[in-house]
Structure 1
Amino acid sequence: MFNDIGALELVALVVLAVLIFGPDKLPKVIQDASRFIRKVRAFSESAKEDIRSELGPEFKDFEFEDLNPKAFIRKQLAENEDLKELRSSFDLKKEINEVADAVNGTEHSGVSDTSVPAAVNGSSSGGPDLLKKGETPARDDRPPFDADAT
């Protein structure tokens, strides 16, 4: 619960507690706080047991941590054999590199010219080459003014 509190923060909290409650009331405050935490834990455990008993025997393996979407998906991915097989057969980095090379028009091992569209690999098929930069207008040429656009 307090895994991210360092030694300096802990010392600061103790000094602050002594200043606020005083050294004579501090033990009583600590006892009350620990008693409250124990009661809350006992209440939550009894509520969990009540829910498990109401759900019935088909939910005997139910864990409340599974209600967290990240934990649920992580558990399902780890248990499903079909997804493990699919994950091992699919190389995302290779696929991304192939797509990037196809867009850039460079040759990549495993990608043939027939799989790259004509406009991408540099051959013109009568249409404009959208990947090449157009000619830059001369400095004196002004772009057309559109009064409706401004």
Structure 2
Amino acid sequence: MFNDIGLPEVMALVVLAVLVFGPDKLPQVIQDVARTIRKIREFSDSAKQDIREELGPEFKDFEFEDLNPKTFIRKQLDSDDLGLKEIRNGFDLKKEMAEVSDAVTTVAEVDDAGTASGAAGTSGGRVDMQKRPETERRPGAGDPPPFDSDAT
């Protein structure tokens, strides 16, 4: 719970406690706080025990920490019931991407060779995406649209 509190923070809390409660009352306040924390822990442990007894023997290995989603997922992924580790280790993303890249490069080289040999933009039924087909100029293409003063 307090994993990220360092020495400077603890020293600041001690100085603040001395200033607020004074050096005379500070030991009594520390004892009261420790007693309260102990009672809260005892109450929590007894409540957990009561819940375990009410759930029955089917839930004897039930842990309340498993109700935290991060802990639950981590525990489920660590148990290799589904063989996920084998699948994860057998799949190499870099290798797969290299194969796809090589295949695309090979197809592009074949298309370029077919275009250079005299085909007009196609090679073996494929369209060369780098060569733009010539388009017909439509009348009015490139002209600005007419201005309608009544529409504005």
Which band: TM-score by shorter chain?
0.5 to 0.7
In structure 2, relative to structure 1, the CA distance for the partners of 1:4 and 1:113 (3 Å cut) is closer
Q: Which amino acid aligns with 2:78?
A: A
The answer to whether the aligner puts 1:16 opposite 2:16 as a matched pair is yes
Offset, 1:57: 0.6
Task: Summarize the alignment of residues 101-120 of structure 1 with structure 2, pairs less than 5 Å apart.
Answer: 102=100, 106-107=101-102, 112=103
**Residue identity matched to 1:54:** E
How many angstroms apart in 2 are the aligned matches of 1:93 and 1:39? 56
User: Mind listing any 5+ residue stretches in structure 1 that lack a counterpart?
Assistant: 130-141
For the structure 1 residues 64 and 85, does the alpha-carbon distance in structure 2 shift closer, same or farther, using more than 3 Å as the test? same
What fraction of aligned residue pairs are identical, expressed as a percent? 62
Is residue 29 of structure 1 aligned with residue 29 of structure 2?
Answer: yes
Q: Distance in 2 between matches of 1:25 and 1:43?
A: 27
How many residues matched?
Answer: 120
Matching of residue 62 in structure 1 with residue 62 in structure 2? yes
Show the counterpart of 1:91.
92
Specify the structure having the higher radius of gyration (Cα). 2
Q: Distance in 1 between matches of 2:72 and 2:65?
A: 8
Whole-angstrom CA distance in 2 between matches of 1:53 and 1:3: 32
Deviation of residue 2 (structure 1)? 2.4
RMSD of Structure 2 on Structure 1 (CA): 3.1
The equivalent of 1:42 in structure 2 is: 42
